Amino acid sequence: MKIRPGAVILSLFLGGLPAGALQTQPNVLFIVVDDLNDWVGCLGGHPLVKTPHIDALAQRGVVFTNAHCQAPLCNPSRTSVFLGKRPETTGVYGLQPWFRDVPELRELISLPQYFSRNGYRTLATGKVFHGRFGFRKVDREFDLTGPGYDDGPYPEERLAKLPGRQNRGNDWGVIEGRNEERGDWKVASWAVERLKSLPPEPVFLSVGIRLPHVPLFATREWFDLYPDDESVLPFIRRDDREDTPLFSWYLHWRLPEHRREFLERARQWQGQVRAYLACISFLDAQVGRVLGALRAAELEENTVVVLWSDHGWHLGEKGVTGKNTLWEESTRVPLIFAGPGVTPGLSSATPVELLDIYPTLLDLCGLPARDDALDGISLRAMLEPGGVSRVRPARTTAGPGNQAVRGERFRFIRYADGSEEFYDLSEDPHEWVNLVEREELAPVIENYRKWISRTFAPPVRGSAGRVLEWKGGRPIWEGREIPAGAPIPGLERGDR
């Protein structure tokens, strides 16, 4: 039954009904984190990281330790999750456009819209879609929205001292003030208040946490959790890129993120890594506040919780910081389910995709399946002991023709120019040695090649921001051809 939005808002402000009253289907708490890689305790991505609240959620549910995004970039990744379609299906590869501005995609039913059409009240706060999409006055993705994307107040001057002109948003350091002034705190607070008094219908509540997206600002208490020394740095190999194709550089050609060598020369690499860790612990605390409110409202038993990140993030591995690559640091993400229909304390190393969230939530909540419209697979069977595992590898796409295929043991990468990489992560978890020329692995590599998508939709009209194309045998980065023999930006001089 469709209830007028005004009635929902009135119910929220007047106190609603007792938790669980009149509900026959579970609520959904949908937590999405921005730029969070596998540096989470339950994933073992960094030995020093402190994420007690996310780890507790993993213990209360199922954690997928081999989950991967469909695109190593915010807008295409989130578009893929919310539409249930791969980037090579939609043609959304860049930071622009918003998919509702694409005529061919405008009428597709997003995940929250489908829940709304099936009797749920949909609420959202924070960075859920890319940027402020979904929160504008003209957007109709949710029934009720709270605070949207918010970096929080910037310091008057840059905190990270770097030579040359720098992107103002790509900064990090200890910031003055109170935690309550930060954008993610306000987002969590709005969600906490909504959980205190829900409407009678089941609720789909989306909570988007911006950190650890740059700028990496946090108050002193979060930095104090981590030593200010080299122990925070990830393991690297300085000749790591010698056996990777030149085309691998084109995926992250000219970006505001820095090359590791530049940060090392400026003596800022350690500071950036420590700031990233500090921001992870701050975001974990906000997740804890929301989960605490869920528990206090006695809603845990009737709420499906899913926590995920849109893509990973390099902190110096492969010589770069940031995303936009097809290696493990950029594609591997947290993915946790908890609540009704989910067995506590399970862990799965089967490769899964963020695409699988849409069909899995429909399955858990008893909503009609959309098998004809979704590219993902329901993971419900894997949320129970002995359930049948997903039977295909995970694929990540970084622009037309560039794709990684991740199995339980191996990663295969094919670039648009035909160059390739192959890694055995059981023996080489850092992906330091490209094995693509090893003859004894030829049959295995050929099997992985078969999973590369056969067709890639061209970039949709209005595509912009980190879009790489291969046209006429030449790489085109953000609309401009990369000249043959061009020096790699950031490596030929002391800046980008």
Alpha-carbon separation of residue 51 from 214, 225, 285, 300 (angstroms): 19, 11, 8, 20
Q: CA-CA distance, 91 to 193, in Å (whole number)?
A: 38
Over residues 124-130, the mean pLDDT reads 95
Residue 291 has pLDDT above 60, yes or no: yes
pLDDT at 424: 98
Q: At what angle do helices 357-364 and 74-83 cross, to 10 degrees?
A: 30
Length of the chain in terms of residues written: 496
Q: Poorest-confidence range of 66-70, 122-126, 250-254, 486-490? A: 486-490
Q: CA-CA distance, 361 to 84, in Å (whole number)?
A: 12
Alpha-carbon separation of residue 270 from 157, 231, 260, 345 (angstroms): 20, 9, 10, 34
Instruction: Answer whether 94's CB lies under 8 Å from 466's CB.
Output: yes
pLDDT at 293: 98
> Catalytic: 130?
yes
Alpha-carbon separation of residue 26 from 107, 188, 271 (angstroms): 27, 21, 43
Instruction: Answer whether 202's CB lies under 8 Å from 304's CB.
Output: no
Tokens for 283, please give them. Answer: 């975001």
Over residues 178-192, the mean pLDDT reads 96
Q: Poorest-confidence range of 85-99, 345-359, 380-394, 479-493? A: 479-493
Mean pLDDT of the chain: 93
Q: C-alpha angle with apex 38: 37 to 43, nearest 5 degrees? A: 160
The Cβ-side half-sphere exposure at 95, using a 13 Å CA radius, reads: 9
Confidence of residue 316 (pLDDT cuts 50, 70, 90): very high
Domains of the chain, start order: 5-392 (3.40.720.10)
> Which of 42, 69, 74, 279 is the catalytic position?
74
Q: Give percent of the chain above pLDDT 90.
A: 86
Q: Give percent of the chain above pLDDT 70.
A: 94
Q: Which of 42, 35, 43 is nearest to 56 (CA)?
A: 42
Residue partners of 468: CB distance under 8 A and separation at least 6: 93, 250, 251, 253, 398, 399, 402, 416, 475, 476, 477
Residue 414 has pLDDT above 90, yes or no: yes
Instruction: Answer whether 436's CB lies under 8 Å from 424's CB.
Output: no
Q: Which of 12, 23, 15, 2 is nearest to 303 (CA)?
A: 23
Tokens for 404, please give them. Answer: 């990684």
> Which of 46, 53, 68, 130 is the catalytic position?
130
Q: What is the pTM of this model?
A: 0.94
Residue 335 has pLDDT above 50, yes or no: yes
> Catalytic: 365?
no
What pLDDT digit, counting tens, does each position of 243-280 carry?
999 999 999 999 999 999 999 999 999 999 999 999 99
Q: C-alpha angle with apex 272: 267 to 269, nearest 5 degrees? A: 30
Neighbours of 103 (CB within 10 A): 9
Neighbours of 133 (CB within 10 A): 22
Can you give the chain as a three-state secondary structure string? CCCCHHHHHHHHHHCCCCCCCCCCCCEEEEEEECCCCCCCHHHCCCCCCCCHHHHHHHHHEEEECCEECCCCCHHHHHHHHHHCCCHHHHCCCCCECCHHHCCCCCCCCCHHHHHHHCCCEEEEEECCCCCCCCCCCCCCCCCEECCCCCCCCCCCCCCCCCCCCCCCCCCEEECCCCHHHCHHHHHHHHHHHHHHCCCCCCEEEEEEECCCCCCEEECHHHHCCCCCCHHHCCCCCCCHHHHCCCHHHHCCCCCCCCEHHHHHHCCCHHHHHHHHHHHHHHHHHHHHHHHHHHHHCCCHHHEEEEEEECCCCEECHHHEEECCCCCHHHHECCEEEECCCCCCCEEECCCEEHHHHHHHHHHHCCCCCCCCCCCCCCCHHHHCCCCCCCCCCEEEECCCCCEEEECCCEEEEECCCCCEEEEECCCCCCCCCCCCCCHHHHHHHHHHHCCCCCCCCCCCCCCECCCEEEECCEEEECCEECCCCCCCCCCCCCCC
pLDDT at 15: 39
Residue partners of 471: CB distance under 8 A and separation at least 6: none
